Structure 1
Amino acid sequence: MIDRLFGIFLLFLGLYFIWGGSQLVVPFSYDPLGPKFFPMLAGGMLSILAIIAIINAKKVTFPASTTMIKTVIIVILLVAYQLTFDVLGFLLSTGILVFFISRIFAANQLQALSSAIGVSSTVYIIFNILLDVPLPVGSIFSSLLGAS
């Protein structure tokens, strides 16, 4: 039953995308497809997949309460990550996030700490150094580093 309800929700969302895309008006054509194409294509694909989900709905079993609690904790951690990203900076906020998520997935303290250091530093190197995408240092550290 839940699968069908979610499929109906996705169907209405897809139809809304199609309707919203059809309402886009551009005073001049700069692209042969125009801005209507992508939302209408996404809405069409979503509607087709939603119909398939409605037709092929199966009985849903919900996960154990411990899994649901872990999921809620991870969502709270992600919200906290987003809220502290600019203040703590990329390295520290990402390290803290990875540490706690590692602990949720049963890593010991050393494994979680090494994962936090490894993931945050590797991603920092990839984005900040190799791809030249600036990541925030953190407002609490910017005065120490002389950055504005």
Structure 2
Amino acid sequence: MGDRILGAICLVMAVAMAWAAHGYAAEISYEPVGPRAFPTLLATILGLVGAWLLLKRQAHAVASGTPVLAATSPLDWKAVAMCAAAVMVYGALFRTLGFWLATTLMAVPVGMAFGGTLKKSLIGGLVMGLGFYVLFDKLLDVILPTGVMSFLLGGR
């Protein structure tokens, strides 16, 4: 039941994000993709994940002959709270710490909430933080804050 609730919430959020992003337009065209592309892409991914969460349990239950209600698992509210707190702290420290460091630190508790060890979560967070920084800031030329590590990354 928890997966379906989370899937429904993801779908509602995806629709809201897509609707909000529809009105985004740059006054001066300075980028080839414009400001609407990134939130629209995120909304699409969130919508696909939400639909998958809604449908995966039911499809598995039907295939195995198990009643749908018996195939669900309870929502781990501690993990949900840990992820929500990590994202809120991420938003608060994003400019100060910079994108890659804040992303790395946010990924650790989220990874641990999904059952990862501290070491694996830290390594995954570091790879994700630096990887996304290089992808967006260097390859796609999306300006991201470097924060306290500006001396290492050519600060902005």
TM-score (norm 1): 0.51
Q: 2:102 aligns with which of 72, 79, 93?
A: 93
Residues 110, 147 of structure 1: alpha-carbon distance in 2 compared, 3 angstrom cutoff = closer
Matches within 5 A, 1:106-145: 106-138=115-147, 140-142=148-150
Q: What amino acid sits opposite 1:116 in the alignment? A: G
Letter in 2 for 1:125: V
Please state whether the residue corresponding to 1:106 is helix, strand or coil. coil
Of 74, 77, 88, which aligns to 1:68? 77
Q: Give, in angstroms, the shift of residue 104 of structure 1.
A: 1.1
| Match in the other structure for 1:48 | none
Return the letter of the residue paired with 1:82. Answer: G
- Distance (Å, rounded) in 1 between the aligned partners of 2:142 and 2:83: 26
Q: Which residue number in structure 2 is paired with residue 50 of structure 1?
A: none
Aligned length: 91
Change (3 A) 1:63 1:77: farther
Paired amino acid for 2:128: V
Report if the CA contact (8 A) 2:145-2:155 is conserved: no
Equivalent residues of 2:82, 2:109 under 8 A apart: no
Cα separation, 1, equivalents of 2:146 and 2:155: 9
The structure, 1 or 2, with the larger RCO (C-alpha pairs under 8 Å, 6+ apart) is 1
Deviations 1:34-71 (A, max 9, x none): xxxxxxxxxxxxxxxxxxxxxxxxx8xx9636x11211
Q: TM-score of the superposition, structure 2-length normalised?
A: 0.49
CA distance in 2, matches of 1:141, 1:122: 15
Q: Which residue pairs with 2:33 in the alignment?
A: none
Q: Which amino acid aligns with 2:79?
A: K
Identity of paired residues, percent? 24
Which consecutive aligned stretches of 4+ in structure 1 deviate over 3 angstroms post-superposition? 62-65, 144-148
**2:97 and 2:133 mapped to 1: Cα distance?**
14
- Paired with 1:126 and 1:141, the residues of 2 have a C-alpha distance of 17
Q: Which has the larger radius of gyration?
A: 1
What's the offset of the Cα at 1:109? 2.2
